[in-house]
Every structure is written in C-alpha cells, then in structure tokens.
C-alpha cells in the first residue's frame, strides 16, 4: 500500500501520550479542556486500524450520548480518513470503512446497541458520564477474543467512576508487566492554552470549576455538594487507635438492598472512627440477618440502626434472634425539624458535621468516598436543609449510594454507651457529645 498521510500533526503532549497508548492495552487519560484528546483518540484509532494484522479489523469510539458523539467526533473521523483510497461512509450508522477496516462512532446512552460486536479497540470518551456497567458488561467482552485495547478519557467531574478508574490504573501501573497506563495533564503543564488566556479563564470561572476543568483536580467540588471531596480526602487520612476511642459508643448501620443491582451494606463506627463497609448481594432477609448478627457478635455495638423502608424482614428476624435494633425511616420526621427537611437529610447532615469534627474514613475506600461526595443539597421555603432525590444521585453515580447510606444510618440518633468503657474519654469520642 502506498503511503497515506493523515492531515494532523501532534502537538505536546499528544506525541508523548501516543507512545504510551501504543505500548499499553488499557489506558486512562485525564486531560484539561481543549487539550485535543478526541483528535488524539481518533488518530490513534485510525493508526491502529491500519496496523491491525487480524482479518476485518473493527474499532469503536463511544461518547456518553450518540448526538454528542456525532457532534464531537464524526467530522474529525471523516477528515482524518479522507485520504484513504476507496473509503466508504455510512452516515446513518456513523461508520467509516477503508482498506477492509471499520470504525464506528456510538453513544453509551443506548448500551444494548453495542452488544454483539467484537472490537480491536475502543475509546470511551468523557468516561465520567458513562455508566460503569458499559465497560464491565459490554466493552470488556467485546475485546476479549481478539485482545483488543481500551482507552478511557475525560476531564474530572468529581469522585466518580472515572476517578475510580484512574486510581485503579495508577495502582496497576506499579505492578511488573502491567498492561495499564494512567496519565494526567493539566493546562499549566501542556501550555496548549496560552498563559494569558488561562489567566483570563481563571478570573472568569468559579474556582472549583477551574480546578476541575483546567487543573484536572478530582477533589474540586460543586458549591452545593453537602460533603465536599476535600473533606472526604482529609477524613481518609485520619485514623484513631483503640485508646483514642475508649468510652465512645459503638454503632452499626444496616442498609438492606432495594432492588436490582443495589447491595445490602453493613458498616461499623465508634466515635470518630468508621471502619470499611461490608457489602452483600442477592441475600434474602434471613441470610442478611445472619450476617448482621455475626457482625453484632464481633463488634458488640451500643446500637444497631436499620433502614425501615427495605429492612422490615431483616428487622423481624434480628429481633427474633434477640438482637435489639432501631428501625429508621429515611423519609420520616427529623429530630431537629427546624434544621432538616426529613430524617435522610438529618442523617447526612450530621454525618457531614462528624467529618468536619475529625471523623476518620477507611483510607482505601474510594467507592465510599465517591458516594459521600455525591449528594447535592439546597434549602426549602422554611430554610431547612434537604437532599436531592436519591434517584438523581444514582443516575449520576451509575449506582445507588448504599455505602454512604449505611454510614449515615449510624447518625440516626444520639447513642449513649451501654456501660462505662474506661476513664479519660478523648476527642475521638465525638458521639458522646452528639446531639440531634
């Protein structure tokens, strides 16, 4: 085949990133706005399509929505494949064929349209807006037979699935022979945006948005997030020893599964220290009650709070076992009706106050941290704090915030200790002073 020149020349850091993409099977690329990641992704895909030695190579560019994919990528794909002789374009299917190869532009808003394909390479662009199961249930099987590659790319939008994928890739990178690579490029690093223009953008943009969009800061947060990610990250750095917790009440929160992919979660907390949550899938009431009973036996709590909305069966079984539990209706009346709209808002609000007061979260629990930093709040006409509907959080995260709800349940009411655990109660006994 005669030489074909694609009408594109890499600028920094595209060439550097391209070398990484060509030597790793799984890549997570975090970039600032206007860096040129979509152009990089498409030109990389075209190059790999030409190089692919397998019969009938097939590649897929996936954006969160089909209309978005058409707007962002389709024109670029047409431009960059124009020099190939015999190129065929199917505008209805957003598909281009050349030299026996095929590249298709798709949207993740109709994930079933992706099923049944094989793929030699997939780009998941703006991955923060794509549901997690698109990769695990659809894309991963697509690339299995032919050992295809995947590129996750996007700009931070908080501690979401993209954040988790980036951190997972960083962990994998350190292992010998790893197939993973992760890179993060800020506007200050790349110089793509001239310094004077970047300074204007900084002046004209809210600080948290600038940190996210141009400094690639996953820890930047919206102004209306109840528990900012900055506080969550600080809480993950704290840890209290047993002596610090002496005398503080022990509490267990139980959030039974609702339906579908939701999980049942059990979490333990003593004073300012929360321990890693334990999640269960597809357990009936008796099975879940048995798991909770085992935790109660080992932890010896002063109180066990269970979500009443979905835990009626679990509550009944636990009580028959002789375990005292408190059922908590998330939509019920708060203990502080002048401050909170309902019980759910109160538990989350007091959980936020606990973190501000020095609460410690499990350091390795990125999923719990992402859920805690996901809830958006406002105030009703009476000036009471209320949370956005749980369905909106679930839509944004791609799953229910089960872990965070379980921890919130540990703040359902003031809990005194059943007995004096020892003298010298320290700062970490926050809940001894806790008032609802």
Token pair in block for residue 20: 């990484």
Q: Which residues of the chain have pLDDT under 50?
A: 420-436
Alpha carbons 136 and 361: distance in angstroms, whole number? 27
384 CB-near residues (< 8 Å, 6+ apart): 337, 338, 339, 340, 341, 345
> What is the CATH topology of the domain spanning 14-213?
Rossmann fold (3.40.50)
Give CA separation, 49 vs 145, 221, 355, 423, in Å. Answer: 17, 39, 50, 70
Given this model, what pLDDT does residue 423 score? 29
Given this model, what pLDDT does residue 400 score? 87
Contact predicate 235/251, CB 8 Å? no
Given this model, what pLDDT does residue 431 score? 35
Given this model, what pLDDT does residue 401 score? 92
Alpha carbons 197 and 332: distance in angstroms, whole number? 51
347 CB-near residues (< 8 Å, 6+ apart): 328, 330, 408, 409, 411, 412
Given this model, what pLDDT does residue 183 score? 95
> What is the CATH topology of the domain spanning 229-433?
Nucleotidyltransferase; domain 5 (3.30.420)
Residue spans of alpha helices (H) in 102-206: 132-133, 140-144, 161-173, 187-190, 195-204
Rg of the chain on CA atoms, in Å: 25
Domain edges within the chain: 14-213, 229-433
Q: What are 264's strand-pairing partners?
A: 280
Token pair in block for residue 293: 């009973």
Q: What is the DSSP letter of 45?
A: H
Torsion sign, CA atoms 66, 71, 72, 76: positive
Alpha carbons 247 and 112: distance in angstroms, whole number? 54
Given this model, what pLDDT does residue 429 score? 35
φ/ψ of residue 42, rounded to 5 = -70, -40
Alpha carbons 404 and 194: distance in angstroms, whole number? 41
Contact predicate 347/355, CB 8 Å? no
Alpha carbons 217 and 168: distance in angstroms, whole number? 17
Give the count of beta carbons closer than 10 Å to the beta carbon of residue 3.
Answer: 5
DSSP, residue by residue, 307-350? ETTT-HHHHHHHHHTT---EEE-TTS--S-TTTBSSHHHHHHHH
* Burial class of residue 310 in the structure, from the number of CB atoms within 10 Å of its CB (0-12 exposed, 13-18 middle, 19+ buried): middle
Given this model, what pLDDT does residue 297 score? 97
Alpha carbons 341 and 137: distance in angstroms, whole number? 38
Token pair in block for residue 207: 């600080």
DSSP, residue by residue, 229-279? HHHHHHHHT----HHHHTTPPEEEEEE---STT--EEEEEEETTEE---EE
Q: Hey, is 120 helix, strand or coil?
A: coil
Given this model, what pLDDT does residue 262 score? 73
């Amino acid at each position: 085949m005669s030489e074909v020149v694609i009408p594109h020349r890499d600028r920094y850091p595209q060439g550097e990133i391209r070398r990484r993409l060509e030597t790793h099977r799984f890549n997570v690329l975090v970039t600032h706005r206007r860096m040129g990641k979509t152009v990089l992704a498409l030109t990389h895909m075209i190059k790999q399509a030409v190089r692919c030695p397998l019969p009938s190579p097939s590649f897929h560019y996936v954006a969160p929505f089909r209309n978005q994919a058409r707007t962002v990528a389709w024109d670029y794909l047409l431009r960059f494949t124009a020099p190939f002789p015999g190129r065929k374009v199917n505008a209805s299917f957003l598909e281009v064929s050349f030299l026996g190869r095929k590249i298709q532009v798709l949207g993740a808003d109709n994930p079933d349209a992706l099923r049944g394909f094989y793929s030699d390479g997939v780009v998941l662009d703006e991955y923060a807006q794509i549901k997690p199961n698109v990769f695990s249930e659809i894309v991963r099987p697509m690339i299995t037979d032919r050992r295809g590659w995947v590129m996750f790319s996007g700009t931070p939008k908080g501690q979401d699935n993209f954040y988790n994928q980036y951190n997972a890739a960083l962990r994998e990178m350190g292992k010998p022979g790893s197939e993973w690579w992760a890179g993060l490029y800020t506007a200050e690093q790349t110089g793509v945006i001239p310094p004077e223009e970047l300074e204007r953008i900084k002046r004209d943009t809210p600080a948290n948005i600038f940190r996210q969009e141009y400094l690639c800061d996953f820890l930047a947060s919206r102004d209306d997030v109840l528990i900012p990610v900055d506080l969550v990250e600080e809480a993950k750095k704290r840890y209290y020893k047993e002596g610090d917790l002496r005398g503080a009440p022990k509490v267990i929160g139980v959030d039974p599964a609702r339906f579908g992919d939701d999980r049942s979660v059990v979490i333990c907390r003593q004073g300012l220290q929360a321990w890693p949550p334990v999640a269960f899938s597809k357990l009936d009431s008796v099975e879940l009650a048995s798991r909770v009973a085992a935790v109660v036996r080992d932890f010896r709590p002063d109180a066990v709070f269970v979500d009443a909305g979905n835990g009626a069966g679990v509550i009944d079984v636990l009580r028959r076992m002789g375990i005292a539990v408190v059922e908590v209706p998330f939509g019920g009346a708060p203990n502080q009706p002048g401050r909170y709209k309902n019980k759910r808002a109160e538990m989350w609000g007091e959980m936020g106050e606990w973190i501000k007061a020095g609460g410690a979260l499990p350091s390795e629990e990125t999923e719990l941290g992402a859920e805690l930093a996901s809830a958006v709040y406002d105030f009703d006409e009476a000036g009471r704090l209320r949370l956005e509907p749980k369905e909106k959080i679930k839509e944004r995260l791609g799953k229910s915030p089960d872990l965070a709800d379980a921890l919130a349940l540990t703040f359902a009411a003031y809990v005194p200790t059943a007995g004096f655990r020892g003298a010298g109660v320290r700062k970490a006994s926050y809940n001894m002073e806790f008032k609802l």
